[in-house]
Amino acid sequence: MPYYRDLLPDRNPDQQLRWAPPYRQFESTELRTTLSVPIYVEARFRGVVAVDVSLKHIQALLGAPSDDSPALNRYLMDSAGRLIAANHDHPSTDLRWPDVLGDAWPDVGPQTLFASDGPGMRKGEGGYLFYQRLGASQWMLLEAVSTAQLYGEVFSRISKPLLYVWIALPLLMWISVRVVSLLFSYYLALGDKLRQLAERDPLTDLANRRHFGDQFAQAAARRERDGSALSMLMLDIDYFKKVNDRWGHASGDHVLQRLATALRENMRAMDVPARLGGEEFAVLMPGATLAEATASAERLRVTLAAIPVEPAPDAPTSATQGDPGARIRFTVSIGVAEAGSDGGQTLDAMLATADRRLYAAKATGRNRVCAEDARAGNAEAPPVAG
């Protein structure tokens, strides 16, 4: 009998247990296998203990497929690659590795699996192979699962509320990222707006006194570093109170806004025009000498004197003095200062110098530029022709 002869010492020097291929005993239709155990006494072979086992019994031990897991394929394999039993009926009684497992693991042999320590997993074409050696024996449990089966088993064991959460999680993540992005963009825009409010005059959109001071600090540091020139203008609208009294404060705001537009259009890109308060404006001119700043101030004065301003819609009808198309005309007086002149290098010193010359221009007739201090008064800049 094979289950006896295959355990003789010359055929089984390692004294291993053997499973016989499945067979039908006598007239029975039930498949059985035989577990053969060699018996040695004092290192001498004495015989074999053989136990007939029904394959149905082994299938039950392996875990027969159930309604919950109908596609589960589990096998018991020995180190020679013989599949002793499966948890399901199979038409062949001579099962060998890897015939019944398809082509997913052509390069994985029994020796490779038995060489692994502990349980393991292999991923193949469209499926997974789970395996675990039974202690130190020559037997191993195999479980072949397709990718579809694996995910099906996972989903079948997840509670429906948890499954819904798991499916909805990517959508929730996308919504969260989108909301965070929108909030981030909103707060960036809000931060820009707040910074603008902190740096700009709300009526004219020119730099306010604080931002003007910050820009002066940068220009002064650059002047100290490379010795470049730095000048400043101070402007004040002549008789601005009369404009408000005649045309109304809304029209006065129009005049201030038109002056701000003229500053942006007629000064250099590097210049920093600012509204210091009321009808008083200043222009920081990095790199400009006193003479250059004075020439720019005179051109600006001439330009402003020629600009008509549309009165506000609610301007008093009496302001037009019988002329419905009347426009507001205004002039400015300008004082000019250069860093280092008269010992003035700080912002306050330059503002004081430019302010002193501004009022000197007003005192000598208004609508003019004053760029220096003189013993007998202030010398005014020569008008620009045209």
Question: What would the pLDDT profile of 123-160 be if each residue is shown by its tens digit?
Answer: 777 677 888 887 777 778 888 777 777 766 666 666 66
Residues 106 and 165 reside in one and the same domain? no
pTM of the predicted structure, to 2 decimals: 0.51
The DSSP output letter for 198 is H
Task: Indicate whether 62 belongs to any domain.
Answer: yes
DSSP 8-state class, residue 309: B
385, part of any domain: no
- The CATH number covering residue 81 comes to 3.30.450
Alpha-carbon distance of 33 to 20, in angstroms, equals: 6
Which is nearest to 247 in space by CA: 328, 307, 323? 328
**Are 223 and 241 part of one and the same domain?**
yes
Helix (H, G, I), strand (E, B) or coil at 370: strand
Give the count of domains, the chain.
3
Q: Which amino acid is at 338?
A: E
Same domain, 125 and 235: no
Same domain, 214 and 358: yes
- DSSP secondary structure code for residue 104 in this structure: S
Q: Are residues 92 and 184 in the same domain?
A: no
Which run of H or E residues covers position 283? strand 280-286
């409010």: which residue's tokens?
197
* Cα 45 versus chain centre, distance: 76
Q: Is residue 150 part of a domain?
A: yes
Range of the domain at 97: 2-156
181 and 194 inside one domain:
yes
Q: In what order do the strands lie in the sheet with 73-78?
A: 83-86, 73-78, 139-146, 127-133, 120-124
Quick one: which of 206, 356, 373, 348 has its CA closest to 279? 206
Q: Of 378, 339, 343, give the one whose Cα is nearest residue 359.
A: 378
Is the domain of 332 the same as that of 240?
yes
Residue 158's pLDDT is what? 64
Partnered with residue 377 across adjacent β-strands are 374
Residues 47 and 146 in one domain: yes
Handedness of CA 287, 293, 299, 302 (dihedral sign): positive
Do 355 and 242 sit in the same domain of this protein? Answer: yes
Q: What is the CATH number of the domain that holds 362?
A: 3.30.70.270
Contact 67, 58 (CB under 8 A): no
Residue pair 366/333 in contact by the 8 Å Cβ criterion: yes
Q: Do 139 and 186 share a structural domain?
A: no
Do 186 and 215 have their domain in common? no
Q: Number of C-alpha atoms within 13 angstroms, CB side, residue 361?
A: 33
For residue 35, is it within any domain? Answer: yes
Residue 181 lies in a domain: yes
156, 190, 212 - which closes a domain = 156
* Preceding amide of 98 cis, omega within 30: yes
Q: Is 386 part of any domain?
A: no
Together in a domain, 129 and 220:
no
Sites in the chain below the pLDDT cut of 50 = 70, 376-386
